[in-house]
Every structure is written in C-alpha cells, then in structure tokens.
Structure 1
Amino acid sequence: MATFLYPIYTVANFGLAIWGINLFQQAPRMSTILLIVVLTGMIYDNLIISVGHLIDEGTLLESLNRLRFLFHNLFVPLLVVVAVKLACNAGVTWAHYPIICYGCWAIALGLIVFGLLTDFRRLELIPTTFAGSLRYKPKSCSVPILTIAIALLVGVVGFYIWREIQWPWMFVGTLVMFSGNAMPTRIFGTLVGSAVDLVFILALLTTPLIVH
C-alpha cells in the first residue's frame, strides 16, 4: 500500500506547488512563496520514501533520508510566518503590528535554530520498513516539540482568521494535521501523517483566495 500511496502523495504535493506558483504569479504574496518552499520539502520527503525500496539500505539512502529531516527543520517553522501573513491579509488587527510582523520571523528563525541544535545535530537514523516502503527513521523517538509548537501557533492564528472572515478551514486543517500526526507510526507508519500534511497545506494555500 505504501509503495502506491507515497508516489500519489509526491505527485499531489507537486501539483500543489505548481498551483502555488500560479497563485503567486496572479497575486504575489510572501505567504504563497513560503508555502511553495515548504511544499518543496514535502515533495522531497514523499519522493525519498517512495523510492527507498528501490535504492535499498545503505549509506546513500541514509544520507537522502537525513536530508528529509534537515528540510523539515529548515522549512516547517516558516509556517509561523505564513500564518501571520495570512492573518494580516485577512484584516486581523494585531497581525498588522510591527512587533508581530518582525516577531513571527524571529520565532521562525528561533525554531529553526532550536530544531537544528536539539534534533538534527544528534540525529541517529535506523532503517525501517512499512507496508512495502523502506525509509530511515530516528533511532530514539522523542516528543516532537517543534511540530507541536508550530501547530499550536498556526492553529491560534487560524482561529482569529476564522473569527475575522468566517473562514474556518485554516483552523480545521491544523486540527486535522495535529490529529493525524498524533497517530502511532508503529501502526500507521507515516502514511496518515503525510496525508494530513497534504490537507493542512491545502487549507493554507486556499486561504489567500478568500482574503483581501
């Protein structure tokens, strides 16, 4: 099943990236270009899992998987900036304050540094198989503080956007992403996580379409 679904996830994320580029050409926004950057990491993530069983265990596949986690640490915190920019476009009052505009970048950069120093620097990978797929995962699994912090921040901003322009989907997408990633990987692998991440990014990418 995984060998069938991950290529679909890869193509779906690629399709969202192409759509995002078209949206950016029509209405250039910082939030859209940052979402395209995040999607680049998601495309790579699903692609490497898709072809892992073809490459087989070894240094090459381990290195390719290590890049997955690097991109996660570098790109995902940018969603904090995306959320604030969307709130600003939606007319949320506090999102226009200069301290918020600069502060979201400071938070994103802080989360990037935190992730690199605490997670990526000490990252040890081991091979694992699931439903026909082969990937490398962290040897020791800890609470994903980085992901939880970002989800909470984006969820709070999504709530304010919902209240301002009656568009609940950014908030709902965050809840879906949070719930899906909370499911145990020993049972579901990363299949559910990759699917809900796709829904989450779709919710963020469609939000600019209804804000002024």
Structure 2
Amino acid sequence: MKNAEMATFLYPIYTFANLGLAIWSFSLFRHSYNINTTLLALVLTGMTYDNFIISIGRFIEQGALLKSLNRLRFLLHNLFVPLLVVVAVKLASNAGVVWVNNPTVYYGCWAIALGLITFGLVKDFVGLELVPITFGGSLRYKPKSCGLPMLPILTALLVAVMGFFIWREINWPWMLVGTLVMFSGNALPTRIFGTLISSAVDFVFISALLTTQLIIY
C-alpha cells in the first residue's frame, strides 16, 4: 500500500476497533458494575474519538473547527490516561497482590492519578499551540513544540509495575507485555511513522488491560 493511502485506510480501522472495545466494556459494565470497567470505558471513549478525528480531518480541512476538535483530543488524553493508574492498582488488588490491598495504596493511586491529570493539564494543555500536519493522507493538528511525553510515560511505568506483580501472583504476563509493546511502539520516530504505530500499540495496551480485567474478575 502506498504511503499516501496508509492513514486513510488504517485510522478508520483503529476507530472501529476501539469503538468495538468501548461497546464491549459498556456491556460488561451493565452486567457487572465495577470502577475499573467504568474507567476503561472512559479511556476507550477518548481513544475512539482520537482516531475518529484523525480519520475525518482531511474532509473537514484546515481551520478553526478542525483545530478545536483536535484540541479536545489532547484534553481527553490528559483527563483519561492517568486513570489507568487506578485501573492497574485495582487489578493487582483483585489478583491477590497482598501489599496493594491497603486503603492507603488505593487512595494513594487516586492521588497520583489526579496529580498526573493536573500535571498534564498544566504542562501540556494550558497554552497548547497546535499546527496542522499531514501524513499518509491524513490531516491532524499536533503541538507546535513536542517535548518528552511525560504523562503517558509515568502512567505506563506505574501500570508496568502492577503488571509485573500480577504476573508473579497469577502467572498472567499479558498486562506487562501489553505495556512493553506500547512503550516500544511509541518510541518509534513520528516523523517516519506518524501516529500510525502508536495508535496500534495503544490498542494492544488497552486490550491487554481489558483482557486482564476479564480474567481477574
């Protein structure tokens, strides 16, 4: 497939794949309520929106509307991604990791998540300047200045730690594996791959969390 066609083909696939997981998580929520299902559904909603806006950007074309829609992408990212810290701690608790079964750890993970949300909003969202970029036939807006993405890195590190302890406790390595896949994919240069690879590995990552949720609960 030609490079100019890649994004126009793959982003709609990513959108429907994330939407499928989101619908699945909402169906799980109806049958068995727990906070993790709610938080995973929120993250998947943000991921679905992210890929959807990139999918339709070339039809909307450059301008204030597309910039606003893309700004919301970054807002949802900053609001929802740190919630995965709470998800990971709850999964570890339900997997039987003893030291996690402590109210201090539970409330502490909420404090960390809220701290990461505040950190992300202040560092990455307030005063965010966006510029248009085309890649593989897609059109989106990206930050004018791109530093090290500390918010997803810190979140993923904490999830990886919980994944390691879950692996030790119940011999289920896939949450840790999914996190490592996500790390590896996001380390690839966006000037070559755009966000095509990162969107794919993010899907693997969230799938690993949702599958772990099903196994443990």
Pairwise same-fold verdict (TM > 0.5): yes
Q: 1:29 aligns with which of 8, 28, 34?
A: 34
Aligned to 1:125: 130
> Sequence identity of aligned pairs in percent?
72
The answer to whether 1:186 aligns with 2:191 is yes
1:157 and 1:122 mapped to 2: Cα distance?
33
* Distance in structure 2 (CA, Å) of the matches to 1:49 and 1:43: 10
Question: For the residues of structure 2 that align with 1:131 and 1:53, how far apart are their CA atoms?
Answer: 11
Q: Distance in 1 between matches of 2:216 and 2:10?
A: 33
Shift of 1:22: 1.9
Matched residue, 2:175: 170
Q: Deviations over 1:90-128 (max 9, x none)?
A: 111111111101000000000000111111002110000
Instruction: Structure 1: state its 5+ residue gaps.
Output: none
Amino acid paired to 2:57:
G
> What does 1:22-171 align with in structure 2 at a 5 Å threshold?
22-171=27-176
Q: Name the residue aligned to 2:3.
A: none
After TM superposition, the structure 1 stretch with the greater mean CA deviation from structure 2, 28-37 or 189-198, is 28-37
Q: Quote the offset at 1:24 in angstroms.
A: 2.1
Residue 209, structure 1, aligned to residue 201, structure 2: no
TM-score (norm 1): 0.98
- For residue 8 of structure 1, what is the aligned residue in structure 2? 13
Aligned length: 212
CA distance in 1, matches of 2:160, 2:23: 25
RMSD: 0.8
Query: Where do 5+ consecutive residues of structure 2 fail to align?
Result: 1-5
Which residue does 1:196 correspond to in 2?
201
**For residues 210 and 146 of structure 1, what CA distance do their matches in structure 2 show?**
28
Cα offset for 1:84?
0.4
Equivalent AA in structure 1 for residue 88 of structure 2 = A
Structure 2 residue matching 1:160: 3-state secondary structure: helix
Alpha-carbon distance in 2 for matches of 1:68, 1:17: 17
